[in-house]
Amino acid sequence: MRWFTTVDSTNRYLLDEAARGAADGVVAVADEQHAGRGRLGRSWIAPPGAALLVSVLLRPELAPARVHLVTLAAALALTDVVGEPARIKWPNDVVIDDRKLAGILAESDGAGAVVVGMGCNIDGAWFPPDLRDTATAIAIERHELLVAWLRAYEARLGALDDVIVDATARSATIGRRVRVELAHEVFEGAARALTPEGYLVVDGRVVSAGDVVHLRPQ
């Protein structure tokens, strides 16, 4: 485990370490990131100590189609730790009452290594007005959350065949009407299920990547 007072990105750091041959299981944690990354080029911003910022280097022996399971397993592990009413918003968020608690970003080096990063809010006092209705935090000490999540994640990685069933049971997305935003298309439909690879089925259409917005009932 490598702990930083500040770093540009824990994911970026571990991708560089992977290129240098670092082994499976290296963990990077930071008090603060000044270039934290989210999906689709977004940034993750939080004051020092206000979030658990952690990345794990994995070298999973999985078929490429199953690699998304390690991302789902990370989200599921956090729901194991937090308990009710934490839910998984496909593809990579953990929410409580539809407010974002954590975001997860998996990045591959293209040579077999996968870095899974998580930012989990533990202090919401800093939230600006535009985040207060869409984000939430849990009051738990960072070291305690880190150890509990790593243990839960290790257990989930050792039981990937259970991830789809359990993630479906804890999904905030399945059964909802959603808007799917792809690079060149936007469509709406009902989220019906997860495929064995962890992709989302929306009215019979399989979505492997994209932004999903939960729609309010009409």
In the chain, where the domains are located = 2-172, 175-218
Position 65 scores a pLDDT of: 84
Across 160-185, average pLDDT: 96
Q: What is the pLDDT of residues 130-167, one digit of tens each?
A: 888 999 999 999 999 999 999 999 999 999 999 999 99
> Cα separation of 53 and 88, whole Å?
18
192: left (phi over 0), alpha (psi -120 to 50) or beta: alpha
Give yes or no for residue 120 having a pLDDT over 60.
yes
Give yes or no for residue 180 having a pLDDT over 90.
yes
1 burial level (CB within 10 Å; 0-12, 13-18, 19+):
exposed
Question: In whole angstroms, how far apart are CA 198 and each of 64, 90, 105, 168?
Answer: 12, 9, 15, 9
The answer to whether 208 touches 85, Cβ cutoff 8 Å, is no
Per-residue pLDDT band for 36 (boundaries 50, 70, 90) equals low
The CATH architecture one would assign to domain 175-218 is Roll (2.30)
> Cα separation of 163 and 35, whole Å?
31
Question: Which element (helix H / strand E) includes 71?
Answer: helix 68-82
Position 35 scores a pLDDT of: 75
Across 123-130, average pLDDT: 91
Name the pTM for this structure. Answer: 0.93
Across 76-97, average pLDDT: 96
Give yes or no for residue 44 having a pLDDT over 90.
no
The CATH architecture one would assign to domain 2-172 is 2-Layer Sandwich (3.30)
- Report which of residues 37 and 206 the model is more confident about: 206
Across 116-137, average pLDDT: 94
- Could you list the beta-strand ranges (E) of 133-183: 177-181
Across 78-103, average pLDDT: 96
Tell how strand 86-89 and strand 93-96 pair up.
antiparallel
Q: What is the pLDDT of residues 7-20, one digit of tens each?
A: 999 999 999 999 99
